[in-house]
């Protein structure tokens, strides 16, 4: 049975639940297998040096300005905004190549006037007022944003005519185990920033993301609470909430093993 047919069946009102369980079970089994290989090829870090922070902004420029065109390109080839002033960056590094493959940030306000991006641009979309960030102290809230993975580290192929601009994957360049790890790079980045929030004791975490991304994270046990209906914000996105208890409640054993490894990486990086 092909993937497209399984996905169609998962939306069936009668049998859908069974097929959704089968998909989730398969994803968790794959996660358990890959968790052991992931740490061989990738390590998580905090971007503490200027060079690494510059590299993060360059990755963001490639993804958000050049590829997705959310922002206009600039001559410095760096993407930044006002929230970077009170943010921490997490990165994943390919060990063998000693190069960054992706990044994500945690917006971490401390001043009363410092807002999260979700508060400034999408506050009205939060209809579940129980979890509205304004209910909590500034030092207790954070927002995951600007997750970006370089095209050459995504598990997909593109037409040759697109060339380097679309970052075609040349499979022969990587081992089979490396290539299998590619879909979990985004999971690894989420875990890196989650580890940072746990270490920093940020208890209430928000993300504005596409519902299909939230659903895909749910397949491997990362479940968010949706706080409102999707709105048009760089595409159709909805507000989501997560905390430490929710993160660990549904996490599979394989993913927990991966998370703990990444948490050790982050803790070690903070001590440098």
Which token pair is 210? Answer: 């596409």
With a pLDDT cut of 70, the percent of the chain lying above it is 75
32 within domain boundaries: no
Check whether 2 has a pLDDT greater than 80.
no
Span 48-77, average pLDDT: 94
Check whether 160 has a pLDDT greater than 70.
no
48 within domain boundaries: yes
Q: Torsions phi, psi of 102, nearest 5?
A: -175, 170
Q: What is the pLDDT of residue 27?
A: 54
Considering only residues 71 and 178, tell me which one the structure prediction assigns the higher pLDDT. 71
pLDDT, tens only, 194-203: 999 999 999 9
93 within domain boundaries: yes
12 within domain boundaries: no
Considering only residues 206 and 27, tell me which one the structure prediction assigns the higher pLDDT. 206
Span 34-40, average pLDDT: 75
pLDDT, tens only, 210-219: 898 888 788 7
- At 264, the pLDDT band (50, 70, 90 cuts) reads very high
23 within domain boundaries: no
pLDDT, tens only, 89-125: 999 999 989 999 999 999 999 999 999 999 999 999 9
Determine the structural domain holding residue 169 and report its residue range.
38-270
Q: What is the pLDDT of residue 222?
A: 83
252 within domain boundaries: yes
Considering only residues 3 and 50, tell me which one the structure prediction assigns the higher pLDDT. 50
Domain CATH for 248: 3.40.630.30
Q: What is the pLDDT of residue 33?
A: 66
Q: What is the pLDDT of residue 140?
A: 97
Q: What is the pLDDT of residue 256?
A: 86
- At 29, the pLDDT band (50, 70, 90 cuts) reads low
Stated pTM of the model: 0.80
When the pLDDT of each residue in the chain is averaged and rounded to a whole number, the result is: 81
Check whether 251 has a pLDDT greater than 60.
yes
5 within domain boundaries: no
Span 217-226, average pLDDT: 83
Q: What is the pLDDT of residue 31?
A: 59
Of the listed ranges 88-97, 136-145, 148-157, 184-193, the one predicted with least confidence: 148-157
Check whether 178 has a pLDDT greater than 80.
no
243 within domain boundaries: yes
Q: Dihedral sign for Cα 56, 168, 160, 170, please.
A: positive
Domains of the chain: total: 1
Check whether 18 has a pLDDT greater than 50.
no
Span 166-170, average pLDDT: 29
């Amino acid at each position: 049975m092909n993937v497209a047919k399984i996905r169609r069946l998962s939306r069936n009102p009668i049998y859908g639940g069974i097929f959704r369980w089968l998909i989730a079970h398969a994803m968790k089994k794959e996660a358990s297998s890959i968790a052991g290989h992931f740490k061989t090829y990738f390590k998580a870090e905090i971007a503490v040096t200027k060079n690494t922070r510059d590299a993060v902004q360059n990755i963001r420029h490639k993804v958000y300005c050049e590829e997705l065109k959310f922002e206009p390109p600039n001559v410095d080839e760096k993407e930044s905004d006002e929230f970077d002033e009170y943010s921490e960056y997490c990165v994943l590094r390919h060990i063998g190549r000693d190069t960054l493959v992706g990044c994500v940030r945690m917006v971490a306000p401390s001043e009363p006037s410092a807002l999260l991006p979700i508060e400034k641009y999408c506050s009205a979309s939060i209809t579940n007022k129980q979890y509205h960030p304004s209910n909590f102290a500034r030092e207790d809230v954070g927002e995951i944003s600007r997750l970006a993975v370089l095209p050459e580290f995504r598990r997909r192929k593109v037409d040759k005519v697109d060339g380097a601009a679309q970052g075609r994957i040349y499979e022969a360049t990587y081992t089979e185990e490396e290539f299998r790890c590619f879909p979990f790079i985004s999971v690894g980045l989420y875990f890196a920033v989650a580890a940072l929030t746990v270490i920093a004791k940020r208890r209430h975490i928000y993300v504005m993301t596409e519902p299909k991304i939230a659903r895909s994270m749910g397949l491997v046990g990362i479940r968010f609470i949706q706080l409102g209906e999707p709105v048009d914000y760089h595409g159709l996105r909805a507000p989501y909430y997560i905390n430490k208890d929710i993160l660990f409640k549904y996490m599979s054993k394989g993913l927990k093993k991966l998370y703990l490894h990444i948490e050790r990486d982050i803790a070690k990086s903070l001590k440098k």
